[in-house]
Amino acid sequence: MIPIVSIVGWTNSGKTTFITKLIPVLKSRGYRIATIKHNAHKFEIDKEGKDSWRHRQAGAETVILTCKEKIAVVKEIEEEVVLEELVSRYIDQEIDLVIVEGYKTGSVPKIEVFRPDLYEQPVFVEDEVLTRIINREEDLAELYEDQLAEIVMLIENKILK
């Protein structure tokens, strides 16, 4: 199984910003990275009126959008697919690490981004996460290289070992 780390936190805590700073550091060390973004709400990647949207409206249960650079699969499902199944089914085996944004449930290792100016308490107690990043008024915009290096070392030692 490909190693997974989940970046968790309340809405607007800075999870996406943190992930976009973490990925280049991991890539610079030679790791191949995949990401999964969990959305607690319904989402649409098809735009109303576009051909793929019309295919789904007509009753197609799976629609694949493809071009020479990328592929996207839109598939109707009865219930949410568990994280480990998503990874085994859709992530190439050459990937070294899957970074997940969200998926607060489950047993994968978690790093929590917490904004004390927006929320009174973190999502998890301290021993339920590998580490907690305190984001004070968008500190993540200036997350220093040494802090990122420490977090990468933690990921290497605890997840990629």
**Whether the predicted pLDDT of 109 surpasses 90:** yes
Instruction: Give the pLDDT confidence of 139-150 residue by residue, as tens digits.
Output: 666 777 778 999
Structural domain boundaries, residue 120: 4-41+78-158
* Residue 57 belongs to some domain of the structure: no
Buried b (16+ CB within 10 A) or exposed e, 19-41: bebbeebbeeeebeebbbeeeee
**Whether the predicted pLDDT of 42 surpasses 80:** no
* Residue 104 belongs to some domain of the structure: yes
Domain total in the chain? 1
CATH number at residue 86: 3.40.50.300
Instruction: Give the pLDDT confidence of 85-102 residue by residue, as tens digits.
Output: 999 988 989 999 999 998
* Residue 48 belongs to some domain of the structure: no
* Residue 67 belongs to some domain of the structure: no
Strand ranges of the sheet holding 131-134, from the earlier edge strand across to the other edge: 33-37, 97-101, 4-8, 110-114, 131-134
* Residue 56 belongs to some domain of the structure: no
Global pTM reads 0.86
* Residue 50 belongs to some domain of the structure: no
Rounded CA gap, 95 and 51, in Å?
32
* Residue 82 belongs to some domain of the structure: yes
pLDDT score for 24: 95
- The residues near 9 (Cβ < 8 Å, ≥ 6 apart) are 15, 112, 113, 114, 115, 122, 123
* Residue 106 belongs to some domain of the structure: yes
**Whether the predicted pLDDT of 156 surpasses 90:** yes
